A and B are shown apart, each in its own frame.
Chain A
């Protein structure tokens, strides 16, 4: 190998080389900046529209995140995975959160993801004489225990003056939703969209009775374990910013938001997804209504003997992250 000789550049060439070098370093720095990976567990349902939008669009990427969504059958399962350290955070519904709060689980609520008053329903076998809520007395009613379907069922029973033990409660997993009612294993099934629509469709209009509750409001939340929040606060704040952008898209372009949902669901579920989509409000927030919902459920469950004491939910809330992004979304204060 020959000896390299230093060649002297003409004086006017040196500034150009320096500029090019600086630009190249800057480009590499910008392009090669690694994104922070964040794994969120969630059920693949229209209620998680904002997370779908954040992951599929540029919102999470623009916030420096590599957002990975992991499917779980229910929000309860996703929450359990988060508390077990298998995912960083979870999209869960109010009932499993209340149950974990009863146990003193170290979870933190960062924001709501959606609200809905028509996502839950009891689909009943009309051909077996279940025409209304009062007909559930003594019947076998299937429900995924520990999910918000359980609390919803309690409100349905109460609307007809029935107590929890006035019906035969059967624990049904999500995997069995499609067959439990049709096979006759249960006379009614408390479930959520799109299963409500699918099961009712499978039974047929003559055989299915769909019972809704006017007092129940479903709300899902983004929840993270306390230690994950402490260690990944910056990433979770970036996720909230991505969700806020997704919320604006959902408000301004609902079709684009539904497209993100549609991309996540099998083709056969589109019709049901569209039906349930009509009743969903994708919305971020930390509000008095959220605390009231959690507390009301807890009080109901305590009154029914499920737990001993109503937990204080305020310490579980982390409003400051969302307040820094959208102050009007945080209304967790005493009114003036």
Chain B
């Protein structure tokens, strides 16, 4: 017990208290500096860089300063970084096995950044999940789905999986597939569709609308009519045009295809054979 108190009182020497005070001071100043530098960088980069790069640079600066603070703090406490590196050698092997996935995610994240396939704010679809990229972090990205859910996707998944970026190109093509009855006037139908696209201000004049024959099907001749529009107007064009198409077809009496079945009845047995035989026989007993 006396040894214990002696040990404790040995810790509370003036020199050690001073050391602890310096270390605490370094920690506080370091953390405050990291926070301030992060805030300043975010403000500076707000108009000079994309949100993605601003976020990454800010976090890199913060994490870097925090790591430096910890090293300096440990140095103040008498723990030399060299000693840490020595002991780290043993831990590295253990940590390496444990953090394979994390390392893979970090490296995948760097590759994704370099590739530039998407950025913060883009609407993407990964593995059936569609959402806006709200942050690109070291290990994962976060999506805000269209119904306001947060989905986290590991960077490694993005590298391995096919994903679609709806915001990469500035213009999009809206495709409309439809079938017309075989007795419809296809030339008139095409003219109507082209007139609708010409009248709609959000449908591009160039690239010009596209009218493509697809197939002769069972009940219809199938076509595709496509128009180009600015990406931000895609939904409006997608919703407007079908209504106008149907209205135009109705007004011009152009029949839209419906599933059609023709039933043909034939007399298989000639008269005077089975029918007559059946007529002359006794009815079956109950």
Chain A complexes with chain B:
no
Please give the residue numbers on chain A whose beta carbons come within 8 Å of chain B beta carbons, in ascending order: none
Please give the residue numbers on chain B whose beta carbons come within 8 Å of chain A beta carbons, in ascending order: none
